Each structure stands twice: as C-alpha cells, then as structure tokens.
Amino acid sequence: MQAIILAAGFGTRLQPLTNTIPKPLLPIAKRPLIVWNLRLLRDHGITKVIVNLHHLGDQIERYLGSGSHLGMHIAYSREKKILGTGGGIKQAEQFLRESSDDAFLVFNGDTIINIDLSHMIDNHFTHGGLATMAVRNDPDVDRWGALELDNTNRIVTILGRGQPAAHKTQPITRKMFAGVHIMSPLLLRDIPIGQESSIISPYMKCLEDGAKIYGYQTTGYWSDVGTPERYDQTKRDAEDGILNWISWEECATKTGGQNL
C-alpha cells in the first residue's frame, strides 16, 4: 500500500514559528513531526510515500531526500498553489494508483498518532467499503466536526450530510476524525485537477449516494499539532513519556524496520 502525507499548508496558526520552518519539520523530542508519521508508516510495512509540498517545501525535501536513509522511498508532489486536501491528493493520484491494493493511506501532516495501521488496513479490506476513516472519542466532538456512526461502525453522516434517516432505525454514536484514512481512488473521480478543494466534499457526496464508508476506532495517543498550545502540549507529552517513541520499537522489529 502507498501513502500520502499532506504537508503543503502554511501552518498559519503556528506563526511565527512557521514563518521560517514548515510545520512538518517542527521538532517533537528532537525529531521532526513528519518523521514520527514516517516512522509509524514504515513500522507497519508501508515504505512508499509521497509528500505534497508548497510552503517552504524545499526544506522538507532537503531534509527527507529520497528516504533511502530511512528505509523508505519518498516522492514529492510540488504544488505551485495550495490545492487543499482534495486537490493535493488528486495531483498525486498517479503515484497512489501504482499499488495493486486499489487503496491508499492518507495522513494529515499536522497529526501525530499512535494507531495500529496494520489492523486498520485489514479492517478496511474485510468490510470492503469505499473508505475507512480513523475516528476517536472526544468530549468536544462538535468543535472538530462530528462524524456519526451506526452500530456496525458505518459512517452515516459527516458534518450532518449523508444518510441522516439512519437515526430513526438504529443507535448512532458521534466521533471525530483522527486525521488518518484509507481510501479508494474512486473517491478522486470527480475532484477537479489543479483546483483547490477539500477531500471531505466527495466523502459527503458518496455518503448521500449510499456508498459504504466505515470508521475505525482508535484509542491511542493523538494530537493535532495545529496551534502553539497544542504544539507545546505535545512536546510536554513526549518529555513526560505519554507520547513515547520507544513504544513503537517492538512493532519496528516485527516489520524488519530500521531505527529512524
């Protein structure tokens, strides 16, 4: 399976830090944020990754290079203008279609997460849906944008759009999207090339058309490193051992990974 890390954004809410350093290179426990994501991918056997770039993207490319020193193959999708989550994935479509799995992983570049990707991938192919979105419980779910799931973990609405009639026939739980998803290239079909768009729009359209999209519950560490307050908290969590790089060593050994 291939993966894309979305790393093109300006990191506006983290200014002035991101005026000279792209958000994916901000350090957490002396390791850039993007390396935490690459480590997780590689430890689950995903070694072919494309990173989309715009704001200070040359710094990211210089730092990561070809990825060979990380035991990975890293390619780049350079955006002359910001294309958003939809347009950015669409521009990388050819790379992402090179896998025989007919599905690929998407990582939000400002998310740091400890999730069992191998189990999530197995789950995706078992239920056979168009996509699987990592979801988590959060007491402030409405601030993040609520996803509603039925008792089979099928997503029925995203931000209120989808199949709201499901409320009448079965229990519904409300969760937030955790920034990692597995998706079929079919979701990219109607995204315009070279135009800014959000990937959430085709998700909501597919739900309205009756497509099956599932949630995968994650309970491990998660942080959206999007504001100075959350960035500082994530750094403290690493210092205190709540976010623990070493905790992934066993997984790396099982997959034959090298140490990053």
Tell me the HSE value of 20 on the side-chain side, using a 13 A CA sphere. Answer: 2
Query: What's the CATH number where 207 sits?
Result: 3.90.550.10
Residue 21 lies in a domain: yes
- pLDDT higher than 50, residue 26: yes
Residue 182 lies in a domain: yes
Residue 257 lies in a domain: no
User: Are the beta carbons of 235 and 243 closer than 8 angstroms?
Assistant: no
Whose structure tokens read 């007919």? 102
- pLDDT higher than 50, residue 257: no
- Tell me the C-alpha distance between 158 and 146, whole Å: 6
Phi-psi domain of 8 (left: phi exceeds 0; alpha: psi -120 through 50; beta: other): alpha
Give the structural domain span for 174.
2-252
Residue 137 lies in a domain: yes
Residue 258 lies in a domain: no
- Say what the pTM is: 0.90
Number of domains in the chain: 1
Residue 154 lies in a domain: yes
> Which of these ranges, 123-127, 130-134, 168-172, 208-212, has the smallest mean pLDDT?
168-172
Residue 259 lies in a domain: no
Residue 161 lies in a domain: yes
Whose structure tokens read 């944008």? 145
- The pLDDT assigned to 100 comes to 67
Mean pLDDT of 135-139: 93
Q: pLDDT tens for residues 166-191?
A: 666 678 999 999 999 999 999 999 89
